[in-house]
Homo-oligomer: A and B are copies of this chain.
Amino acid sequence: MHIVITGAAGFLGQQLVERLLAEGELNGQTIRHLTLVDMAEPPMPATDGVEVTRLALDITEPGGLDAALAAGPDVIYHLAAVVSAAAETDLELGMRVNFDATRALLEGCHARGLAETRLVMASSVAAYGGELPEVLDDMTALQPQNSYGAQKAMSELLINDYSRRGLVDGRVLRLPTIIIRPGRPNAAASSFASSILREPLNGEEAVCPVSTDLAMFVMSPEKVIEALIHGAEVPGDALGPFRAFMLPGITVTVAEMLETLRQVAGDEAVARVRHEPDARISAIVSGWPSRFTTRRARELGFRGDGSLREIVDAFLNGKA
């Protein structure tokens, strides 16, 4: 089993590498080779027995993916992306990384006859938008109101078409907003959702740029990684006529996040959250839907978190 991961130096990529090496196998096959791709060379993970190739390359350059695809990987995790706020700032950069690189990956698989290769891409709740129903289902249109979502939606269509034509075995997981991310705030418009829990739990201040009424569809890093693993294990013919679907997140409001923070860390933790409305951030994230049936994902065996409290407890356990 040879697995390629793009965006391997990123948060999800690093957690996925760690989990894959801990499992030692994927889809019942021993992992023998990991190829980790990112703009800068990904860190060397701790392993014995698994060959690790680390590639610092620009997947948007012509031929940039050749080295990663030449060995004919069994599974490709395509996690490389320009995040939402950055894609909104720089249309050309977003198109190149979020769409053109996906297309180059598909073309590369096609050119090398990698029809059996399972390509797992991360898409996003940001692909939804427009005049949405109260509760979304698997047949709700993607009418994204941000360039990142548009680029992901286009990539979904392309992966589905290449899969339908038998050129690759693609599957696209639409990720809920991931909380609680480790590390520092980043350029993602949703960054605050982790920050308003993580920073106070670390004794630091955080800024909440949105109304506490805002509802979000969220999933813990642990469940997202489990979903990425499962996403490579689901048989292609079980996926039905479209290869992209929403993962089973849970719906929580910012007020519920702050209340859970209070339960686990008291009023003083909640007091570390400063409320500084940001119209730009609010405009982006308030357009993201927060309620889904996620029937297809559940039927395929994907599982979400039990509650927000479980997510916070898991974060605290990870810190301990």
B130:A241 contact, CB within 8 angstroms:
yes
The stretch of A27-35, A157-165, A259-267, A270-278 that contacts the partner chain: A157-165
Interface size class for chain A?
20 to 34
The stretch of A133-141, A191-199, A204-212, A218-226 that contacts the partner chain: A133-141
A150 touches which of B140, B141, B161 (Cβ 8 Å): B161
Q: Which residues of B contact A144 (CB under 8 A)?
A: 157, 160-161
Contact A157:B154 (CB < 8 A) given known A131-B240, A131-B241 = yes
Q: Which residues of B contact A133 (CB under 8 A)?
A: 139
| Min CB gap A84→B, angstroms | 13
Contact A164:B145 (CB < 8 A) given known A150-B158, A157-B153, A241-B129 = yes
A139:B138 contact, CB within 8 angstroms:
no
Interface of A (DSSP majority class): loop
A139:B131 contact, CB within 8 angstroms:
yes
Q: Is A67 close to B, CB under 8 A?
A: no
Interface 1/0 per residue, A221-244 and B, CB below 8 Å: 000000000000000000011100
Number of copies of this chain in the oligomer?
Answer: 2
Q: Is A143 close to B, CB under 8 A?
A: yes
Q: Is A55 close to B, CB under 8 A?
A: no
Q: Is A132 close to B, CB under 8 A?
A: yes
A158 touches which of B145, B154, B158, B164 (Cβ 8 Å): B154
A147:B161 contact, CB within 8 angstroms:
yes
Q: Which residues of B contact A165 (CB under 8 A)?
A: 91, 147
Q: Which residues of B contact A160 (CB under 8 A)?
A: 143-144, 150
Interface 1/0 per residue, A242-256 and B, CB below 8 Å: 100000000000000
Q: Which residues of B contact A240 (CB under 8 A)?
A: 130-131
Complex CA distance for A133 and B160, rounded to whole angstroms: 20
Q: Is A142 close to B, CB under 8 A?
A: yes
Q: Which residues of B contact A138 (CB under 8 A)?
A: 131, 141
User: Which of A131, A145, A154 is the most central at the interface, judged by chain B CB atoms within 10 Å of its CB?
Assistant: A154
Q: Which residues of B contact A91 (CB under 8 A)?
A: 161, 165
B157:A242 contact, CB within 8 angstroms:
no
Q: Nearest CB to that of A162 among chain B residues?
A: B91
Complex CA distance for A80 and B140, rounded to whole angstroms: 29
Q: Which residues of B contact A242 (CB under 8 A)?
A: 129-131, 141, 143
A145 touches which of B131, B139, B241 (Cβ 8 Å): B241
- Which are the 5 A-B pairs with shortest beta-carbon distances? A143-B242, A150-B161, A130-B241, A154-B154, A139-B141
Residues of A within 8 A of B (CB): 91, 129-133, 138-145, 147, 150, 153-154, 157-158, 160-161, 164-165, 240-242
A-B CB contact pairs (8 Å), 24 listed: A91-B161, A129-B242, A130-B240, A130-B242, A131-B242, A132-B139, A133-B139, A139-B140, A139-B143, A140-B141, A141-B141, A142-B142, A143-B160, A143-B241, A143-B242, A144-B157, A144-B160, A145-B241, A147-B161, A147-B165, A153-B157, A154-B154, A154-B158, A157-B157
